[in-house]
Amino acid sequence: MSLYVIGDTHLSFGTDKPMDIFGGWNDYTERLKTNWQRLVTENDTVVINGDISWAMNLDESFPDFEFLNSLNGSKIIMKGNHDFWWSTKTKIEKFFKESGFDTLKILHNNAYRVGEFSVAGSRGWFFDGEEDGKVMTRECARIERSILAAKDLGGETVVFLHYPPVSQTKDCEQIIEVLARYKIKRCYYGHLHGTAAKYAFNGEKYGIDFRLCSADYLEFCPKCVYVP
C-alpha cells in the first residue's frame, strides 16, 4: 500500500485548453498514464494536490475524471486555484458516485489513512497581500481541521498543499506556524511550473521537509512518498 503524489495535471479532455502548447508538456497525458501505470498498483494511493482539470463545471470535468478513474489505485484529490469545476464536497461525491468514479476521494476538511501515514491538506494561499487576510485565516483553519482529523486516524501526518508555503526567499508564516505547531515533518506542494519551478524550495526548513510535486516538474511521473 504505497503512497504517491503528483499535482497540477491540468487535464482538458472536455475543454479546449491544451497544455501541449507549453514547453515540456508535449504528449503529457500519455506520459502521465504510462508512468502512472508502471509505478502505481491497484493497492496504492496517489494524492493529486490541485489544478486537476481545466473544466468550468462538473459536467465538463467528466472525461478528465473518467481518465483518472481508469488509472491504477485510489486517488485523493484536492482543490487548486484553477479548479473552477469545484463545488461542495457533497455535490462532488454525489457526481462521482453517479458517474461510477469509485477510485476518487475528496480531501477537504478531512483526512485519510494510507498505510503508516495519514493524509491531510488544503489549497493554502499566497504569502502576502493584506486584502487576502480573511482567505489566509480560512485556509489555515482548513489545514488545521484536516491535520486534527489525521491525528485522530493515527500514524504520521503528511500535509499536502497546492500553493507553496515556502520559497527560496520568503515563507508563509501563518501556514508554517500551523505545520510547526502540529510537528508536521513532511509537506508536499504544487502550483509552480516552468521557470518558476527552478526557484522552488526543496529541502528542510523549520524541521519540515518541503517538496515541489507539480506534474511537469516531476516529468509527469508520480513521486513516491511511502513504500511499505
Q: For the chain, give every domain's residue range.
A: 3-226
Would you state the pLDDT for residue 144?
A: 98
Categorize the per-residue pLDDT at 131 as very low, low, confident or very high, splitting at 50, 70 and 90: low
Residue 221 has pLDDT above 60, yes or no: yes
Mean pLDDT, residues 77-95:
97
Categorize the per-residue pLDDT at 169 as very low, low, confident or very high, splitting at 50, 70 and 90: confident
Taking CB atoms within 8 Å and a gap of at least 24, the contacts of 193-202 are 193/8, 193/22, 193/217, 194/22, 194/23, 194/24, 199/167, 199/168, 200/164, 200/167, 200/168, 201/164, 201/166, 201/167, 201/168
Residue 23 has pLDDT above 90, yes or no: no
Residue 151 has pLDDT above 90, yes or no: yes
CA distance 29 to 133: 37
Residue 121 has pLDDT above 90, yes or no: yes
Q: Give me the chain's average pLDDT, please.
A: 94
Residue 178 has pLDDT above 90, yes or no: yes
Residue 120 has pLDDT above 60, yes or no: yes
Would you state the pLDDT for residue 199?
A: 87
CA distance 213 to 211: 6
Categorize the per-residue pLDDT at 192 as very low, low, confident or very high, splitting at 50, 70 and 90: very high
Would you state the pLDDT for residue 71?
A: 98
- CB-CB neighbours of 66 under 10 Å: 15
pLDDT one-digit tens code per residue, 45-83:
999 999 999 999 999 999 999 999 999 999 999 999 999
Sign of the Cα torsion 67, 72, 73, 78 reads: negative
| Burial annotation 71-88 (CB, 10 A radius, 16+ → b, else e) | ebbbbbbbbbebbebbee
Mean pLDDT, residues 150-157:
98
Would you state the pLDDT for residue 130?
A: 52
CATH number of 3-226: 3.60.21.10
Categorize the per-residue pLDDT at 127 as very low, low, confident or very high, splitting at 50, 70 and 90: low
Lowest model confidence (mean pLDDT) among 27-31, 106-110, 185-189, 192-196: 192-196
Q: Are 171 and 195 in contact (CB under 8 A)?
A: no
Percent of the residues in the chain that have a pLDDT greater than 90, as a whole number? 85
Pairing of strands 186-189, 156-161: parallel
Q: Are 106 and 112 in contact (CB under 8 A)?
A: no
Residue 209 has pLDDT above 90, yes or no: yes
Would you state the pLDDT for residue 122?
A: 97
